[in-house]
Structure 1
Amino acid sequence: MKHHTLDLESSVLHRVLCCCIAAGLAVAWASTTLAADSTYDKDANASKVKTFPTVVVTANFQQSPLITVLDPKAPQQPIPASDGADLLKTVPGFSVMRKGGSNGDPVFRGMAGSRLAIVSDGTQLAGGCPARMDPPTAYISPALYDKVTIVKGPESVIYGPVGSAGTVLFQRDTPHYLEPAASLDASATVGSFGRNDQTVDFKGGTPQFYVDVDGNRTHSDDYEDGHGDKVHSLYNRWNVNTAIGWTPDPDTLLELSAGTGNGKAAYAFSGMDGVKFLRQSTALRFEKKHLTETWSKLEAKVYRNDIDHVMDNYTLRRPDPNSSMPMAMASDLQRDTTGGRIAATFDWEDLDLVVGADASTSTHNVRNGGPEGSSMGYYKALSRVRDARMEDQGAFAQATWTMTERDRLIAGTRLDRASVRGYGVAMSDGDSGMSMGSMDGGMSMGMGSESATADVDRHATLPSGFVRYEHDLQMPATFYAGLGHAERFPDYWELFGQHVNTTIASFADLRPERTTQLDIGLQYHSERLKAWISGYAGVIDDYILIHYGMTSGYASNIDAHVAGGEAGAEYRLGNDWKASATLAYAWGEDTTEHRPLPQMPPLETRLGLDWDNGTWSAGALWRVVENQGRVAVGEGNIVGQDLGKTGGFGVFSVHGGWRIDREWSLTAGVDNLFDKAYAEHISPSVVELQGFTTSTRVNEPGRVAWMKLALSF
C-alpha cells in the first residue's frame, strides 16, 4: 500500500501554524514584561481592570480554555443575527453555508451537520428537510437567549452525544428574586432590503414564583449582491416562548416552559423554498441544590420538540417548465423529538464531579404532493408516512480535579447506545426511488413504491471521552492541552438524505465516524492586553464523505487528518481606543483518496479598531479571506460540496453607537461599505431563476446599512 506523507515544510498549514506559534511566543514575552515584579492574583488583577462595555461586537473572543461565551442580545457586525448561524459566523473558526437571506448551515473548522452539536436550552433540536433547508439553528432566534457557549473540539461529554468538532449551547438564565422585581429587554432593528426586527424579553417574579416571556419577529426582502443583482432570499419569522417557575425555597426549582414559532424563507440554492417552519416545544425542569455537604445539585429535565417543515416551488416562486421540477410540488417533513436528562453534581475540596444519563428519540415523517387540485394530490390531505426513527441513550461522568493552586485536570467519559430504524428502505440500487430536483435541493419523492422494500434496524455502542490539563502560569496566562475522542453514529441526512443512496446495502455499510483530536493553546488576560491561541490536530477514522452526482449521490467511509487553529488579540491603546485581530485556519486531508478533504474554509483574518468614550463609540472592521485552492470537486458533507477553487476577498465595515442613558442605546453600521461582490468558499451553487442573479455560488449581500434601538431596565 502506498503511504501518503504530508509535506508540512511547503504547505500553507506550516506557515500558518508557524505564525500562530510566533504569536503565542510574542504574547508570552509581552505578558512577562507586563507582569514583571508581580505574581498572578486573579481577584486583585480583575479589580484593577477598567470595564468598557462593548456597544457593537465585531469579533467574539475565546474567554477560557476552549470556551467562547457570546452575548446574543448585543448588536453584532455584520447586521444583528436573524438566526443561530448568523450569530456563530462572528466567531473565529466558524463559516456559514449561505442558502438565501437566512437559515444558513453553520460550519466549524470545516466540520458541519451532527459533527457540530447544537443544544437549545438543554434540549436536542433537529430539522426535517432531507436537503438541509432547516438546520437546527434555523429554529433559534439568538436574541431570545441570555448567552451562547461554544465548546471547541470533543472536550465535553455532559450535553448529549458528543460533537466531534464542537458543541454550541444556546442558554437561558434562570431568574432569582429576593423580593418582587421585573426586568425588560426590547429592541427594534431596521436595515437595507426591508430588514425589520422586533424583540422583547420580560422577566418578573417574587421569591416563590417567576415568569419569563419573550418573543421576536424578523423580516427581510430579497437582498442585492455587490453587482446590484437580486438574490432570491426574502424571509419572515416569529417566535414566542414562556417559562413559569416555582421556587418554594432558595434551593428548589420547578419550571414549565413552552414555545412556538413559524416562518418562511426563499432560497437561491434550491429548486424549492421553505414556506413553513413550525416549531412547538415543551419542557419540564426540576433542580435541587445543597442536598448534602458534598452533593451540591440534582437536575432533571424532560422535553419535546416538534418540527413541521413544508417546502414547495409555487408559493414564493413560479414553477419553471424547463427545470427538473416543471410541476407545482410540495413536501411536508415532520420531525418529533422527545428526550430527557438527569444529572447530579458533587463538590469535594479539590474535586468536582458531574454524573448522569440522557436519552432522546426522534421520528421523521413525510408526505409529498402538490397544491389543491394537483394531479399528485393536495399534500395536506395525504397521510404522513414514517421513514425513520433514531434513538440514543447515554451515560456520562465529567470531573474537574484541582491538583494545585495553578494546576487542574478535567476529564470525562461517555457511553452512548445509538439505534436507528429505516421504514420501507429499498432492497437494491435500482429500487431506491427517483430524486426530484437532485442537485438543486429538491425533494425525494420515493417513486419506487412498486419495488421491494423492507424495514431495517441498526445499533451501535459508542464510547467517547477526553482529558485536559490546564496550568496557570506566573504571568496572567493559562496553558492547556487536551486529548479527546468522539464516536458519531451516521445521522439522518447521511442515511436517508437528499444526496445519498438510500438502500439496505448503504444503510448497513456506513460505519460510525471516530475522531481523536489534540487541542492545545494559551490564554492570556492582563489589564491592557487580552490574547489567545488555540491549535488542534486530529485523526478521523471512517469519516463519512458524501459523493455528489448529477442526479444522485452516495456516502462512504474514508480516513482523514485535520489540523488548524484560531488566534486573537485585543489591545487597549488608551482609555478610549482599542485594536483587535483574529486569525482562523482549517486544513483537512483525505488520506484514503490522497486528496484534500472537502468543505474546508480558507485562511481568514479580522482586523478591528474601536473608539469608545463611554457615551459615543465608533469603529471599523476589515475582514480578509485568502484564496482556497485545496478542493475536492464533487465531494462534501450533508451541507454541501466543493464547487471549485475560489479567490480571496476583503470586506470593510463601519459602525457607531450612542448610549443615550442607562436604559437606552442606539447603534448603527454599514456592512460591506464598498459594495464588494463576493461569495464565500463554502457556498452552494445557485439555481437559475428568472429575475435573479445567475452567479455560480450564492453571492453575499452588497452594501447593508442598519440601525438598532435597544431598551434594557
Structure 2
Amino acid sequence: MALACAASLLLPVAAQAASTADAAASDTLQEVVVTAVHDHSPVQVVTDPKQPRQPIPASDAADYLKTIPGFSAIRSGGSNSDPVFRGQFGSRLPLLTNGTQLQGACPGRMDSPSSYISPETFDQLTVVKGPQTVVWGPGASAGVVRFDRLPPEFTEPGARLEASLLGGGHGRNDQTATLEVGNNQVYLRATANHSHSQDYRDGRGQRVPSAYDKWNTDVALGWTPDANTLLELSAGAGDGWARYGGRGMDGSQFRRDSWGLRAEKKHLTPWLTKLEAQVYSNKADHVMDNFTLRTPPTTGMMAGGMASSVRRTTTGGRVAATLEPGAGWQLVTGFDGQYSPHDMRKGTPADSYANKDWERNAKFANFGWFAELGWQASAQTRWVGGLRLDKAQAWRYATGYGGVSPIAADNERSKNAMPSGFVRWEQQLTQSTTVYAGLGHVQRFPDYWELISPGNSTANKGNAFTTLQPEKTTQLDVGAQWKGQGWQAWASGYLGYVRDYMLFDYMGMGSAVRNVDARTAGFELGGNYKLTPAWTAQATLATTWGDNRSDGRPLPQTPPAELRLGLDYYAQGPWTAGALWRLVAPQHRYALNQGNVVGKDMGASSGFGVLSLNASYRVNHQWKLLMGVDNLFDKAYAEHLNLVGNSGFGFPGNTRINEPGRTWWVRADMKF
C-alpha cells in the first residue's frame, strides 16, 4: 500500500471580506483533502498546514509548498527537497518558523532549511509573493514563507489532543501528535512527529535510493496574565537520516536544537497597539557520509568511506512596534538581526570525525531596520509601502581542518545600508472584485552557499568572495480576485529585472559563481466553481520565465508550466472524495551546465500527467479516516528540477531521478 496523507481539492480562501455564509462554506471546505491552495488576499496565501493534502502527506516544508501555485522543488529522492518559487530559491525565499530562521549547514544544501520543518506541527502557513513586505528579514526577492504556531486559547482549565497515523506503500508510516493543556493564564503545548519511508519504486519498477527517517518534538510554555499580554518560552529538537540517489553522500544525521523566547503586549495606548520582541537560537548539526547508508566506493577521492560533519548556529532577535495614529494609518517598525557561524570537520570509518576538533570556516551577520506603513485611504482603497535598510557581514577562514586560521584582510566583507522597499495599491472595484499593483526593490547580500561553498570561493582559491556583488531585484507585481455566486477566481503576475543575479557555472565536478543580469516574468491563475451543491471543480495554472541577459541564454533551473485540475465531492454527510489531475508541460528552455548550488540544467525535459484520487469518511466528531492513491496509472516520470542520478547506484550520467510509481495510503485523524 502506498502511503500518505491525502488531499482533495482546493481550499480556496476568499479574497478579503467574507459574509457569514461564505465563512460557513469555508469551514465546510476544511473537511476536504487539499490538492492546491488559492490566494487569500492581495499578494498573500494563507492556509492550514495541518490539513491533509495530496499527493502523499508532506514529510517536509518543500513537499507541502508544492501544493501552492508557483511553487516547485529541486528533487533528490524521497525527502528533503529544496523549495523553489517562481524559479527562485535559497535565501531569495526565506523560510521562517515562528518568526525565526534556521540555516542548513551542508555546503550543497543536503539539509535545506525546509528539511527541518514538519508542516503538520504548525497551525498556519503564510506566503507573501514577491518583494512586497520588509518586516520579515532581508533579501526576500522571491517572497517570504512563514510557518507559525498560534498560542492556544483557554477560557477555562482544559486539555486538547490532536493526533494522526498514516501508513502506505514503500514502508511509509507517519505519526503526529499535539497536546495542549492550560487555563486562561498559562498553557503548555507539546508537538511531536515521526516520518519514515523505505526506498520507493518508480513507474518502471526500478528501486530509487530514497529511504528516510526523521522526528521532531517541540514544547512551548506560555503565560497570558490578561487578554493583551503574552510571554512564551519554547524549545525543540529533531534528528533523522536520508538516502540520496542523486548525491555522492547520504545524510546520516539531521540534528536540530532550538530555543526561543517571545513577548507581546497589545493596546498599550490608543495609538501604540502592539509591542513585540523575541530572541532565538536554531542549531543544525548535520553529518553526511558514503558508508553508513550505502556501500562505499573502492576507487576515487572518497574510496573506503568519508564523512563530513558540519554545523551552523543561527542566533537572532527581533523587536517591532505597531502604531495606529488614526485616520486609517498603521505603521509597523522595528529592528531585527542574526549571527550565524559555520563549523566543519571530516573523518573516515577508521578515523571518526567525532575525534576531531571543530573548525570555523565561515561566519555571517545581518542587522536591519524596517518600517512598513499602511493607509486605508477609503473604504475601497488601500496603500501599503515599506522601507528596509540592512548591514550585512561575512567572514571566511582558511580550510585546513587543523583549527581556526586568522582572518586576512580580504577574508572579511561587509555592506552597509543596503536598501529594500516597496509600494502597493489595493482597490476594491466592486463588491466582488479586488485588484492590486505593487513595485518592489530588494538588495540581497550573497549567502553562505554563494560566497563559501563554490570551489572558486574558498579562502585558498579564486576571488569570488571579494568580487561577487549583492543581487538587486526590481519587480512589478499585479493581480486581481473575483468572487461570485458559487465561484471564485484569482490571478497574479510579475515582471522583474535582476541586476547582478548570482549564477552558478558547472565545470566537471566543480562549480563557480558569478554575477549576470537577468529578466523574469510569470503568472499564477486559479479558481473554483460549484457545479452542484455536492460537486466543486477547481483549477490552477502557474508558469514562469527567465532570461540571462548577460549570456543571451535562458535563466537555468526554471520550472515548466503546471496545470492542476481538481474535482471535490462533499454532500454534508460523512463521505468526501476528490481527484487531482496534475499536468506539467515539457521544458525546452534550459542553460546547459548552469544552475544553482544544488542543481544544474542537464537538458530539456518531457511533460507528463499524473492522476491521483482520495476519499475520506468521518466516523464521528473525534475520528476521521482518509485513503487515497497517488499516480494511479503508475506512470514513470521525472521532474525538470532534479538531481542527476549518482553512478554509485547504477544511474547513467545526466539521468534525472524518477518520481514514485503508484502509491496507496491510508490515514486516521483523531481529535479529543
The one-letter amino acid of 2:591's match is A
Provide the C-alpha distance between the structure 1 equivalents of 2:48 and 2:407, rounded to a whole number of angstroms.
Answer: 53
Between the aligned partners of 1:387 and 1:580, the Cα distance in structure 2 is 50
Instruction: Name the counterpart of 2:10.
Output: none
Distance 1:403 1:617, change over 3 A: same
Deviations 1:345-394 (A, max 9, x none): 112340111110001000000001112xx2xx321000010001100000
Conservation of the 8 A alpha-carbon contact between 1:308 and 1:335 = yes
Distance 1:687 1:602 in 2: 24
On the 8 A contact 1:494/1:500 being kept in 2, the answer is no
Q: Does 1:411 align with 2:381?
A: no
For 1:357, the equivalent position in structure 2 comes to 335
Change (3 A) 1:397 1:559: same
Count of residues in correspondence between the two structures: 652
For residue 35 of structure 2, what is the amino acid of its counterpart? Answer: T
**TM-aligned CA distance change 1:352 to 1:696, over 3 Å:** same
Q: Does 1:494 align with 2:450?
A: yes
Contact 2:397/2:406 (8 A) holds in 1: no
SS across alignment from 1:380: helix
1:147 aligns with 2:128: no
Equivalent AA in structure 1 for residue 507 of structure 2? G
Q: Which residue of 1 aligns with 2:475?
A: 517
SS of residue paired to 2:208: coil
**TM-score in terms of structure 2 length:** 0.94
C-alpha distance in 1, partners of 2:371/2:227? 27
Does 2:59 correspond to 1:82? yes
Offset from partner CA, 1:278-325 (integer Å, 9 cap, x none): 000000111111100111111000001111000000000011114542
Q: Does 1:536 align with 2:494?
A: yes
Q: Which digits, 9 at most, give the CA deviation of each residue in 1:428-469, with x for residues without a partner?
A: xxxxxxxxxxxxxxxxx8799999977711011311011110
* CA drift at 1:474: 1.4
Q: Please list, as runs of the form range in 1=range in 2, the aligned pairs for 1:574-613 lying within 5 A after superposition.
A: 574-613=532-571
Written as runs of structure 1 = structure 2, the 5 A alignment for 1:153-302 is 153-302=130-279
Q: Distance in 2 between matches of 1:261 and 1:296?
A: 36
Distance in 2 of aligned mates of 1:128 and 1:643: 26
Match of 1:660 in 2: 619
Could you tell me the TM-score, scaled by structure 1's length?
A: 0.89
- Residue 640 (1) aligns with residue 599 (2): yes
- 2:411 corresponds to which letter in structure 1? V
Q: Please say if residues 297 and 305 of structure 2, whose CA atoms lie closer than 8 Å, have aligned partners that are also in contact.
A: no
Structure 2 CA distance for partners of 1:446 and 1:630, relative to 1, 3 Å: farther
Name the SS of the counterpart of 1:176 in structure 2: coil
Alpha-carbon offset, residue 692 of structure 1: 7.2
SS at match of 1:565: strand
CA contact (8 A) 1:608 1:619 kept: yes
* Residue 165 to residue 452, structure 1, CA distance change in 2 (3 Å): closer
CA contact (8 A) 1:501 1:553 kept: no
> Match for 1:537: what amino acid?
L
Q: State the AA in 2 paired with 1:471.
A: Q
What does 1:1-12 correspond to in 2, within 5 Å?
none
State which of 472, 477, 493 in structure 1 corresponds to 2:433: 477
RMSD: 2.1
SS of the residue 2:450 aligns to? helix
Is contact 2:93–2:143 with CA below 8 Å preserved after alignment? Answer: yes
Give the distance between the partners of 1:147 and 1:233, measured in 2 at CA.
29
- Please state if 1:679 is matched with 2:648: no
Query: 2:346: which partner in 1?
Result: 368
Query: What is the CA-CA distance between 1:395 and the residue it aligns to?
Result: 0.5
Alignment partner of 1:457 out of 389, 404, 412: 412
C-alpha separation between the residues in 2 aligned to 1:408 and 1:219? Answer: 47
Matched residue SS, 2:354: helix
Give deviations 1:22-53, integer Å, cap 9, x for gaps: xxxxxxxxx9xxxxxxxx98446646857433
2:358–2:403: 8 Å Cα contact kept in structure 1? Answer: no
SS at match of 2:94: strand
Q: What does residue 519 of structure 2 align with? A: 561
Equivalent in the alignment of 1:437: none
Cα distance in 2 between the residues matched to 1:134 and 1:328: 20
Q: Matched residues in 2 for 1:697 and 1:691: separation?
A: 12
Distance in 2 separating the partners of 1:352 and 1:55: 36
Measure the CA separation in 1 of the matches of 2:271 and 2:587. Answer: 53
Map 1:324-473 onto structure 2 (within 5 A).
324-347=301-324, 348-371=326-349, 374=350, 377-424=351-398, 456-461=411-416, 462-473=418-429
Give yes or no for contact 1:535–1:565 (8 Å, CA) kept in 2: yes
- Residue in structure 2 matched with residue 134 of structure 1 by the alignment: 111
The AA in structure 1 aligned to 2:430 is Q
SS of 2:463's equivalent?
helix
Identity of aligned residues (%): 49
Change (3 A) 1:627 1:361: same
Structure 2: runs of 5 or more not aligned: 1-13
- Residues 306 and 579 of structure 1: CA distance in aligned 2, closer, same or farther (over 3 Å): same
CA distance in 2, matches of 1:495, 1:86: 28
Deviation string for 1:252-275 (max 9, x for gaps)?
Answer: 111110000000000011110000
Q: Partner letter of residue 516 of structure 2? A: I
Cα 1:362–1:448 change in 2 (3 A) is closer
Structure 1 residue 204: Cα displacement: 1.8
Query: 1:612 Cα shift?
Result: 1.2
1:113-156 per-residue CA deviation (whole Å, 9 max, x = no partner) reads 11111111110110000011000010000011001111110111
CA contact (8 A) 1:395 1:414 kept: yes
**1:229-276 CA distances to partner (integer Å, 9 max, x unpaired)?**
000100000111000011122211111100000000000111100000
CA–CA distance in 1 between the matches of 2:300 and 2:489? 52
Q: Measure, in 1, the Cα distance between the counterparts of 2:172 and 2:279.
A: 36
Q: Distance in 2 between matches of 1:198 and 1:693?
A: 36
SS of equivalent to 1:494: helix
The structure-2 alpha-carbon separation of the partners of 1:682 and 1:663, relative to structure 1 and needing over 3 Å to count, comes to same
d(CA) in 1 for partners of 2:23, 2:551: 55
**Partners of 1:52 and 1:320 in 2: how far apart?**
52
Number of the residue aligned with 1:22: none
For residues 242 and 493 of structure 2, the distance between their equivalents in structure 1, rounded to whole angstroms, comes to 37
Q: Distance in 1 between matches of 2:127 and 2:281?
A: 23
The equivalent of 2:70 in structure 1 is 93
Query: Contact between 2:397 and 2:407, CA under 8 Å: does it hold in 1?
Result: no
Query: Structure 1 CA distance, aligned partners of 2:82 and 2:657?
Result: 13
One-letter code of the match for 1:670? V
Equivalent-residue separation in structure 2 for 1:619 and 1:320 (angstroms): 46
Cα distance in 2, alignment partners of residues 608 and 369 from structure 1:
50
Distance 1:645 1:418 in 2: 38
2:574 pairs with 1:619: no
Decide whether the 8 Å contact of 1:633 with 1:642 is kept in 2.
Answer: yes
